[in-house]
Amino acid sequence: MTRHLRYSCALLLLMGAPLAAAASLQGCRVIANDSQRLACYDSLAGPPPATPASAEAAPPALSRRLENQQAAQGNRFAIVPYKPNYILPLSYTSTRLDNPSYGFPPERSEVKFQISFQFELLHGLLGRNTDLYAAYSQLSFWQAYNGKVSSPFRETDYEPEVGIGYRPPDLRILGLDIPLLRLGFVHQSNGQGGLRSRSWNRIVGTVAFQRGNFAGALRVWKRMRLTSADDNPDITDYLGYGSLLLAYKLHEQTFALTLHDNLRWRANRGALQLDYSFPLTRRLKGYVQYFNGYGESLIDYNRSINRLGIGIMLTDWL
């Protein structure tokens, strides 16, 4: 084949490629069925370029939890968690739990567990990003290993709540995203009478914040006295006027710190709780909790408690 002939063949091939493509496009254009016509175009275009996994930024940890909760609200058979749900079969306090109102000598080893859930009562109450919500939490201390007195429950605190929640579409404060604001009425009591009776009511404002795998919530409350009877008039001297939750998710592990303080210099009182959870199975997490300070339970709101517990967590903060 002469050099001129080779050049002629190459020129014909280069010219034929666009002609063939044009003919193929024309063939796709005349296909009546929409899905078949789209498939024809896709076959000509070839596979789309792969998107690097790093280019798809995962949503922040708190946003993922809020999105899952929002999705579960549509299922009337689903229970949406509020605070963490857990059980600590191994829970020990170095503090003496003696109290004349018990009527029995409590042991320092007991089972501690919490049940907490929430549900949406009305969506779009004051706009598309608002809702009327209700929540319920229950914290119990069970003397399961105290066989001398038939293993009674030493204390159970009940905490119903109702309020208004708002999810700002795009709000940032000090470099932190604000995914949720709430204002609620909270009642907490131990359901007892006489010397063991404890209860109080609060108006609570909550600001949730996040950045990546870091999240938290600032809660500020004002005590409301609805009746003249008051079983614990000095409770804010020990539990203060607010709390701060800080949490960080590292892979499948969660570290959390909760603080409250009365913000008084001379008679300072408060508490801290450290939480660490880690995966055991697809649905269960191992859980370690340490508490030190005032207000672990209502019956002991004015007693400093030092406790370490190990158990299982069903739902976490993140």
Active-site positions read 187, 189
- Residues sharing a CB contact under 8 Å with residue 168, sequence separation 6 or more, in sequence order: 129, 178, 179, 181
Residues 20/44, Cβ–Cβ less than 8 Å: no
- Distance of alpha carbon 134 from alpha carbon 164, whole angstroms: 9
CA dihedral of 86, 87, 91, 93, whole degrees rounded to 10: 50
- Distance of alpha carbon 258 from alpha carbon 242, whole angstroms: 11
150: left (phi over 0), alpha (psi -120 to 50) or beta: left
Provide the CB-side half-sphere exposure for 219 (13 A, CA).
Answer: 20
- Centre a 10 Å sphere on the Cβ of residue 7 and count the other Cβ atoms it contains: 10
Number of helices followed by number of strands (H, E) in the chain: 4, 14
